């Protein structure tokens, strides 16, 4: 029962964090500064957790690699949310299990089961539903948002696979995750200096949103790890990944985003995909 509770906590943290991403993405503020502040909160919180540095080489190497994938994926997700609805971006981003399955097959020698193939089919159906033409203005921009979030999901899959590699080489989970936070600080700084020199302003809004996001990101990681430790991964992981319907509902209520039949079919197909990919 405790494992289910932790998985649900991770779910709500993911849903709220995606919604915060959308709130931030709708304003012309520095994504890099936002990432730096999130990384600071993340790093500080993780620094208080116990760590084992006996295999520090693996921890540092895979912490840097997975951290690169993490910051790159989330910056791309935020950029996508500036062009597309929060519900669609959140849903496609959670379908990163598809490239994880293929990556584990290619790199780790794992097999792709019949249930996995069914899940992949549902994932394709979901994305096709979101790609369906609509009557909204700015269709080209919205499609670019789809392509960006697909790229973000691929990068997020790289993070998951690098986690697997790192933990197989006895990297410490808490220390590796803290290094991920440091990579957000470094990556956000580089992004701001390279792409956003005209937006390097810090105000009350960006600080508030960044602190909230940093706490939710830490919650996602902490509660996910706790749920997997106490329960079966095949049960808790699908629960934790089902955050996107909540993000869509929040966006409909507070941001007045439209929910079409195609979107709801895509949401249902994505939920089925995650279930089949996790068993």
The pLDDT, as a whole number, for residue 233 is 63
The pLDDT, as a whole number, for residue 14 is 92
Query: How confident is the model over 241-259, as a mean pLDDT?
Result: 88
Query: How confident is the model over 252-262, as a mean pLDDT?
Result: 86
The pLDDT, as a whole number, for residue 53 is 96
DSSP, residue by residue, 81-142: HTTS-HHHHHHHHHTTHHHHHHHHHHHS-----HHHHHHHHHHHHHHHHHHS--S-S-HHHH
Q: Crossing angle for the helix pair 244-254 and 86-94, nearest 10 degrees?
A: 170
Query: How confident is the model over 57-66, as a mean pLDDT?
Result: 95
Q: Are 93 and 242 in contact (CB under 8 A)?
A: no
Closest CA to 269 of 134, 156, 152, 129: 129
Residue predicted with more confidence, 220 or 182: 182
The pLDDT, as a whole number, for residue 1 is 75
Whether pLDDT at 234 is above 80: no
233 contact partners, CB below 8 Å, separation of at least 6:
278
Whether pLDDT at 229 is above 90: no
Whether pLDDT at 170 is above 80: yes
Q: Which of 104-108, 187-191, 203-207 has the highest mean pLDDT?
A: 187-191
The pLDDT, as a whole number, for residue 17 is 94
Whether pLDDT at 198 is above 70: yes
Residue predicted with more confidence, 217 or 199: 217
DSSP, residue by residue, 217-229: HHHHHHHHHHHHH
* Residues 125-153 pLDDT 10s: 998 888 766 555 567 788 899 999 999 99
Lowest mean pLDDT among 17-21, 135-139, 160-164: 135-139
The pLDDT, as a whole number, for residue 94 is 87
Residue 201 backbone dihedrals phi, psi, to 5 degrees: -115, 140
Whole-model pTM? 0.88
The pLDDT, as a whole number, for residue 190 is 96
Q: What is the mean pLDDT of the chain?
A: 88
Query: How confident is the model over 92-99, as a mean pLDDT?
Result: 87
Lowest mean pLDDT among 44-58, 64-78, 219-233, 258-272: 219-233
Residue with tokens 């966006």: 251
Percent of the chain scored above 70 by pLDDT?
95
Query: How confident is the model over 203-219, as a mean pLDDT?
Result: 91
The pLDDT, as a whole number, for residue 133 is 63
**Band of residue 236 on the pLDDT scale cut at 50, 70, 90:** confident
Lowest mean pLDDT among 74-78, 79-83, 194-198, 243-247: 194-198
């Amino acid at each position: 029962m405790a494992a289910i509770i932790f998985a649900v906590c991770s779910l709500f943290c993911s849903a709220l964090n995606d919604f915060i991403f959308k709130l931030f993405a709708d304003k012309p503020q520095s994504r890099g500064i936002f990432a730096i502040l999130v990384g600071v909160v993340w790093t500080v919180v993780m620094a208080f957790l116990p760590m084992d540095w006996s295999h520090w080489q693996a921890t540092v190497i895979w912490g840097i690699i997975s951290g690169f994938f993490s910051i790159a994926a989330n910056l791309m997700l935020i950029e996508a949310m500036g062009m597309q609805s929060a519900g669609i971006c959140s849903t496609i981003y959670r379908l990163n299990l598809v490239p994880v399955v293929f990556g584990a097959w290619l790199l780790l020698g794992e097999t792709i089961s019949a249930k996995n193939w069914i899940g992949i089919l549902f994932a394709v159906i979901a994305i096709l539903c979101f790609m369906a033409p609509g009557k909204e203005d700015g269709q080209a921009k919205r499609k670019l948002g789809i392509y960006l979030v697909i790229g973000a999901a691929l990068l997020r899959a790289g993070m998951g696979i690098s986690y697997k590699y790192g933990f197989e080489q006895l990297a410490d989970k808490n220390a590796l995750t803290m290094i991920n936070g440091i990579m957000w600080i470094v990556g956000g700084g580089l992004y701001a200096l390279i792409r956003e020199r005209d937006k390097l302003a810090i105000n009350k809004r960006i600080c508030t949103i960044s602190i909230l996001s940093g706490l939710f990101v830490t919650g996602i990681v902490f509660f996910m790890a706790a749920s997997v430790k106490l329960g079966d991964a095949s049960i808790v992981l699908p629960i934790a990944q089902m955050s996107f319907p909540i993000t869509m509902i929040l966006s409909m209520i507070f941001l007045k985003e439209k929910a079409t039949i195609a979107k709801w079919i895509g949401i249902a197909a994505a939920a089925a995909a995650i279930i089949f990919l996790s068993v």
